Amino acid sequence: MESSENSSSDAAEQEVGMHRWLALELAGTIRHDGNGGVADELSTPAQLSAWIQAQQAEHTLPELRHADTPFAVDEYARNAVVSVRTAVRALLARAVAPAAPSRADADRLPKAADALDHLNLVAARVPATLSLHWPTDPGHAPTTRFTEAATTDPLDRLTSILAREAMLFLADEDSRRLAACSAPRCVRYFLKEHGRQEYCKPSCSNRARVARHYQRRQEAATSELETGSAGEVDAAGSVGAMGAAGSAGQSVAEQGKP
């Protein structure tokens, strides 16, 4: 499994100075584990709690409280958030079509229509108004956000925010730049900086180049083996043909004897 340092390295290599879409942050909790498999960063309530705190620190999520009581994350809450993430990833897969979606879960995602219905249902649970947010921290640009009543159940508030933020992203021009990284093992969705970009990070580009080089060497080695085998077969066939011709000549000569 990858260490937390590697996970932090992935975050450091993301686009600098670009809008941090909460929908992509949520979808990005599914990532490669560094060993050819897939890791889920929301596999436990504790991980979900840590992710919420990280998003709040980046001002992509508001404080989630109810009557001055902190939001307690449990397995029920985790399942609710994961169901929203599944719907989001299904719609991201639709957004990148006809290009290939992320390999992490493409074979088990719900239909896009069902995912859309789920997001709309979750978002409708909590009435909200659209507001403008502009953190005072340097480097943060103004963003729009749906604001729900503070008295709303924290879990309903959280899932409705996630659903609405996914809607905002999918309806934004940025979604036209969405792509699934095609590097070996990578399962991320990312925003392309130019039309021909295939990989989400420089490390993925390097890994893809190494993989192509390895594949070319393997193909060359296989071709040499096949060529050598074919040569041996041809040589054996020539020897056999010469032997047959010699035997035939000897038989004719014997038949010509008195």
**High-pLDDT (> 70) share of the chain, %:** 69
The token duo for 162 is 């996630």
What is the rounded CA–CA span in Å between residue 144 and residue 161? 12
Q: Enter the tokens of residue 70.
A: 């902190």
Tokens, residue 136: 């005072």
Give the pairing type, strands 65-66 and 69-70.
antiparallel
- What residues have CB less than 8 Å from 159, skipping those under 6 apart? 80, 81, 84, 122, 125
What residue spans of the chain are helical by DSSP H? 4-12, 22-27, 45-57, 75-96, 112-124, 154-170, 202-255
- How confident is the model at residue 243, as a pLDDT? 56
Write the CA distances from 2 to 25, 58, 97, integer angstroms: 18, 23, 30
Q: What is the pLDDT of residue 191?
A: 95
CA distance 218 to 47: 41
Per residue in 61-103, pLDDT (tens digit) is 887 766 666 788 999 999 999 999 999 999 999 999 999 999 9
Q: What are phi and psi of 108, to 5 degrees?
A: -140, 20
SS3 236: helix
Backbone region of residue 211 per phi and psi (left: phi > 0; alpha: psi in -120 to 50; beta: other values)? alpha
At residue 6, the pLDDT reads 46
- Angle CA 131–137–139, to nearest 5: 90
Per-residue pLDDT of the chain (258 residues; tens, 9 = 90+): 444 434 444 443 444 335 689 999 999 999 988 887 899 999 999 999 999 999 998 888 887 766 666 788 999 999 999 999 999 999 999 999 999 999 999 899 999 999 999 999 999 988 888 888 888 878 778 877 777 766 678 899 899 999 999 999 999 999 999 999 988 889 999 999 887 888 888 878 776 666 555 566 666 567 667 676 655 555 555 555 555 555 555 554 455 555
Q: Residue 60 has which token pair?
A: 């992509």
190-164-132 Cα angle (round to 5)? 95
Q: What's the confidence (pLDDT) of residue 111?
A: 96
How many of the other CB atoms lie within 10 Å of CB of 171? 9
116 contacts 84 by C-beta, under 8 angstroms? no
Q: Which amino acid is at 66?
A: H
Give the integer Cα–Cα distance in Å for 96 and 105. Answer: 14
